[in-house]
Every structure is written in C-alpha cells, then in structure tokens.
Chains A and B, each alone.
Chain A
Amino acid sequence: MDEPRSDTARPSLGDLLAGDTVRARVQVDSWQAATEAAGQLLVGAGLVEARYVAAMRHVLQELGPYVVIAPGIALLHARPDDGVLAPCLALITLSQAVEFGSEQNDPVDLVFALGAVDKTAHIAALQELAGLLMEPQVLERLRSAADDQALLAAIQSALISKGRES
C-alpha cells in the first residue's frame, strides 16, 4: 500500500524515491540500456508516458554527456511536455558501471531519471537530492546496497539523518 503523500503538488524526495521507482544492482551493458531501465520504472509506475524514455535518450544524443553531473552519477531527464504525468524520480544502481561518454565522470553506476511537470514542483525534492549526493558516505551506502530493500533503507536513513541536521 502507498504511504500517504505529504503534498502532491510539491513532493519531497522521500515521496518520489519510493518502492516502485528504486532498483538495486541492475545489470545493463550500455548507457542506452541504463536509461531504458531507469525510464521504464517511471513508465511502469504510471508517472511518465512511454515516449519519455526515448526523449531522455535523445537529450543525451543531442546535447552530450553533461547529464553525468558528478563522478559515477547521471541525472537523466527530458522536458515536461515529453510526457511527464506527475513529478517523479527513479534511481537504479548498476551492478557494473557503464560509460556515458563523459570525459571526467565516467563510468556511471548511479542513474537517476527525473520527470518534471514544470519549473517548480520538483525543486524541494531536487534540493534534498543535491544535499544527499554531496555526502560521500551516502553515495557509498547507495552503491553498496545489495538489493532493493537495502537501497530504499539507505535512502530513508540518509533522509532522516539529513532531516536531523537541518
């Protein structure tokens, strides 16, 4: 059963990174397959239309690997009008890192797929995400999570300890 969502208009990171959009140790052999795997989680959860996945791939093909925002971390997304139905975020960790073509930040083993409906609804969640990704020990816990449950637990405990700080 779904947890009650705090505010559907401005969901928190905990609202977005829930059980249906988080997968650990996914096996893929290319950035295309990684994009597909992360995107299909959003499609399966009814959060984006199927065409959104191709749109995210297209962004990478057209604009290059800047979506690899930090060593090993990709933040994929396309436009709201590419078929986003609700603000959403998926995370997959890869059992083997793949090349995205980033000169400095390859290979990638943490893949986030973001869907925004406008310029503001996802900002609170994005801010929380940025806060977590700054913490090397959080990255380490995400990467070492052996299964989906452990990955979810790692996210939740990181959010709780972050919440205590602020």
Chain B
Amino acid sequence: MRIVTLCGMGFGTSMMLKLFVDDILKAEGIKAEVIPTDLGSFKGLNADIIVAPTDMERHVKGVRGHLALIHNLVDKVEVKEKVMSAIREFQAGKPN
C-alpha cells in the first residue's frame, strides 16, 4: 500500500501529515509506504491513498486513489478517522 501526503511544496504541511500518518500506521500495526510530496509530482506516484488538506480538494479531484481530506491537521482524532477510513476502503477493494 502506498500513501502520499500532499501539500503545495512537499516540505511543510505534507511532512507534518506524514508524521501523523506514520504514527497511526504504527499504532494500528499496518505496513505502508508514506511519501510526502508536492502537487507537481504526486500524480506520477500512483498512490493508493492520498491524504491532503481539505483546501486542496480542487487540486486532487479526479485523481486515482482513495482520498482522505483533512480539515484540522492537528486534530489527531480527525486525521486518524479519515486515514483509517481510506485505508479500509482500499483494503476492501472499493473502486475510487
């Protein structure tokens, strides 16, 4: 499973999201590759799951992959719920 965390540059927001997602995966005992990236490169990564701030929705519409759009990036509960829901969709083989 490949998860990308997304922001405009690939250095700040996406890096912070990666740190959270890594924590969640560790706590849940799930193995996945988590790559922080920027808008310019994420389409080439063929991610199974894309984690991005809600305000980036228009940039990720129509892209292949299960989306987890986060409204409050420092709300652990929200990040966990949305990321786990995207992971479960992916694991269940739902079309996206």
Binding site for B on A (CB under 8 A): 59, 62-71, 73, 75, 77-80, 102-105, 114, 116, 119, 122-123, 126-127, 129-130, 133-134
Contact = CB atoms under 8 A, between A and B. Distances in A.
Contacts of A67: 8, 12-13
B72 to A, nearest CB: 5
Interface of B: 7-13, 15-16, 19-20, 36, 39, 52-56, 58-59, 71-76
Contacts of B75: 70, 134
A103 B36 CA distance: 24
Nearest to A103: B55
B34 to A, nearest CB: 13
B74 A130 contact: yes
A69 B16 contact: yes
Nearest to B8: A63
Nearest to A116: B11
A69 B20 contact: no
A123 B53 contact: no
B9 A69 contact: no
A122 B11 CA distance: 9
B9 A78 contact: yes
A75 B16 contact: yes
Nearest to B16: A130
The 3 closest A-B pairs by CB, nearest first: A66-B55, A63-B8, A66-B53
A63 B54 contact: no
A133 B71 contact: no
A166 B8 CA distance: 31
Contacts of B12: 67, 75, 77, 114, 116, 126
Contacts of B39: 63
A59 B9 contact: yes
Contacts of B73: 69-70
Given A69-B13, A75-B16, A134-B76, A59 B8 contact: yes
A67 B10 CA distance: 12
Given A103-B54, A105-B55, A126-B15, 14 more contacts: A69-B13, A69-B16, A69-B73, A70-B74, A78-B9, A79-B9, A80-B11, A105-B72, A116-B12, A119-B10, A119-B36, A122-B11, A127-B19, A134-B74
